[in-house]
Structure 1
Amino acid sequence: MSYDIVFKRIYQAPEAEDGARILVDRLWPRGKRRESLALTDWYRDASPSPALRRQYHQGEISASVFAARYRGELRDDPDCLLPLMRHARQERLTLLSAARDLEASHLPMLREALLKALEDEDAEDREPASPPCFGAK
């Protein structure tokens, strides 16, 4: 199955084709009122941890180290993806962030993890049922 997961800056105007609009930043965007954003949800749990975000923004770690550690955080807590997966199964999922360069932010890694988790779940659904499930001897 194909899933439509896109990125958008939180400062861009909402559009009807956005589908579920989920803010996936740890911090609330400056100067924005919740009612003006047309958010479906603000989901912090899938964003980088505060310590990792701080290390990266203060230049203590490189982009590649940040990416490896963030992927590790997502791998260590696969349940953090479940709410986003539910939205992706129903409609277009627009991941929102205040980052200036979305392709250099955590969003591509988050989309990659979401697509992998959705693919794994779909593969499990295609596996045949075990014999006890359908009465085979």
Structure 2
Amino acid sequence: MAIQLKRIYESKSENDGKRILVDRIWPRGISKEEAGLDEWLKEAAPSPELRKWFEHDPDRFKEFKERYEKELDNDEEKQKAVEKVRSFMKDGKVTLLYAAKDQKHNHAVVLKDYLS
């Protein structure tokens, strides 16, 4: 039941397992073929309001994490997406893909912790 994170711009690897994009918006500059996705779960991403509030500001990350986890707990669409990822995890390795430049302060980091 391994789960890892990777920027979507990094090369696809045979060690990725199931590749799942967890961004609401398609990443710039990459084609669907290059992405090599198994699934695009837009519903797993933070709400547009929360994403805009956060603005990838590391100083807001702690509060962002709390707000995003609350969304994951309370939003039916997000819960369905989380359950889908968990079902993939039962079958083997899962790689959550995201486009953010900051590899420590982004929603995929929160989602990985939430799923663990």
Quick check: TM above 0.5? yes
In 1, the alpha carbon distance for the partners of 2:68 and 2:6 equals: 20
In 1, the alpha carbon distance for the partners of 2:13 and 2:73 equals: 32
The 5 A counterparts of 1:118-137 are none
Match of 1:104, SS?
A: coil
Is residue 45 from structure 1 mapped to residue 43 from structure 2 by the alignment? Answer: yes
* Residue matched to 1:9: 7
* Residue matched to 2:99: 98
Of 21, 28, 45, the match for 1:30: 28
User: Larger C-alpha radius of gyration, 1 or 2?
Assistant: 1
In 2, the alpha carbon distance for the partners of 1:31 and 1:87 equals: 27
Gaps of 5+ in 2: none
CA RMSD, Structure 1 to Structure 2 (Å): 1.6
Displacement after TM superposition at 1:111 (Å): 1.2
Displacement after TM superposition at 1:79 (Å): 2.9
Does the 8 Å contact 1:24/1:47 carry over to 2? yes
The 5 A counterparts of 1:103-114 are 103-114=104-115
* Normalised TM-score (structure 1): 0.76
Displacement after TM superposition at 1:74 (Å): 0.7
Displacement after TM superposition at 1:41 (Å): 0.9
* Normalised TM-score (structure 2): 0.89
Of 64, 67, 82, the match for 1:66: 64
